[in-house]
Amino acid sequence: MKNSHLVLTGLALITFLAGSAHSQQANESSSSEFGATITNNSAAPKSAPEGMVWIPGGEFSMGAAVNGHGSCEMPMASNDSEPIHRVRVDGFWMDKTAVTNKQFTKFVEATGYVTIAERAPTKEEFPTAPEENLVAGAVVFAPTDHEVPLNNYLQWWNYVKGANWRHPSGPESDIKGKEKYPVVQIAYPDAEAYAKWAGKRLPTEAEYEWAERGGLSGKTYAWGDEFRPNGKWMANTWQGKFPVKDTGEDGYAGLAPVARFPPNGYGLYDMAGNVWEWCSDWYRPDYYAQLAKAGGVAVNPQGPASPLDPSEPNEKKRVHRGGSFLCNDQYCSRYIVGTRGKGEVNTGTNHLGFRCVKEASTKTAGR
Ligand SMILES: [Ca+2]
């Protein structure tokens, strides 16, 4: 770590003032057996938007069971993935893949948009920050040169001046020849600006999980209960000693182009692994408990009204989903479907991207 922590902390103070509606609770109980998946009969609208697939609406058990709180058994869901609770979402279109560098370039060329990581924080915004920390940049993973205790992520994350979506690992890196890689170093407002330009929006956390499950119910992974069915790698994750050496046994040490692993049951690629993806919900660890306490079925939940991460209460975070190429069975097995991630809204990293969803034009909103 060099000058990073103060800058990171400072960046967190640039708040993004977006509203977020309360979820709506349906009073009726589900007539299904708990744990079963109900998919409604909503047919896909006839013409699919380019690069998107129709995700039929349905009802499901959202979240993931945490194996033995306090144990180190892997794979392990994050503690905030419980309680599992019933959720219903309406049908929607979803991008088959994360937004690529090629797609994001098209957006920037059309609009002149400048991402958060490309803008230098100002003295007015951070009056107490030293001048040398007011630099444009983003957070980059750096492997350690020796084994370290996995109790402090600042050992392998650095704030790097000049890192942004065009230079994902810092000024010396670029995206030449990487048109089909997911765009990374994207802050939440950047993802939202792209979605608006594309006539789309970001998925809610419930939509993401429902889509990731791909029509399966109660499975550990988006493709079933086995991490490697018949020995096949199903997602881009980390092999080898974390965070020292990614051996890339799944074919990719680091980021992979989109759609290099099998799609799930809905035809969606990389819903687990490769890059974390922004969801529109504010993050609170107790949100699922709030929904479960309300009872019934949460219909199109939109996330809590405001963010709160007790471990970093001054930062405004939204939900991340899906895990990344850094996820592994030693530290963070967040390629499990139903487990959660979170991130400060103005912080981009080189393992964080996004994809969009779009509502059917004929759909009547259930909220
Ligand atoms: Ca990999």
User: Would the pTM count as exceeding 0.95?
Assistant: no
Name the pairing type of β-strands 85-89 and 297-299.
parallel
Residue of 48 and 201 predicted with greater confidence: 201
Name the pairing type of β-strands 85-89 and 58-62.
antiparallel
State the Cα–Cα distance between residues 355 and 277, nearest whole angstrom.
Answer: 7
Tell me the domain boundaries of the chain: 1-43+62-367
The fold of the 1-43+62-367 domain, in CATH, is paralog of FGE (formylglycine-generating enzyme) (3.90.1580)
Give 283-316 pLDDT, tens digit per residue. Answer: 999 999 999 999 999 999 999 999 999 999 999 9
Give 26-44 pLDDT, tens digit per residue. Answer: 333 333 334 455 555 466 7
Question: How far away, in angstroms, is 362 Cα from ligand 1 center?
Answer: 40
State the Cα–Cα distance between residues 234 and 10, nearest whole angstrom.
Answer: 38
Give 145-173 pLDDT, tens digit per residue. Answer: 999 988 888 888 999 999 999 999 999 99
How does residue 356 score in pLDDT terms, banded at 50, 70 and 90?
very high
Question: How far away, in angstroms, is 367 Cα from ligand 1 center?
Answer: 39
Question: How far away, in angstroms, is 136 Cα from ligand 1 center?
Answer: 29
Question: How far away, in angstroms, is 254 Cα from ligand 1 center?
Answer: 6
Question: How far away, in angstroms, is 236 Cα from ligand 1 center?
Answer: 4
State the Cα–Cα distance between residues 124 and 303, nearest whole angstrom.
Answer: 32
Question: How far away, in angstroms, is 63 Cα from ligand 1 center?
Answer: 25
Question: How far away, in angstroms, is 246 Cα from ligand 1 center?
Answer: 7
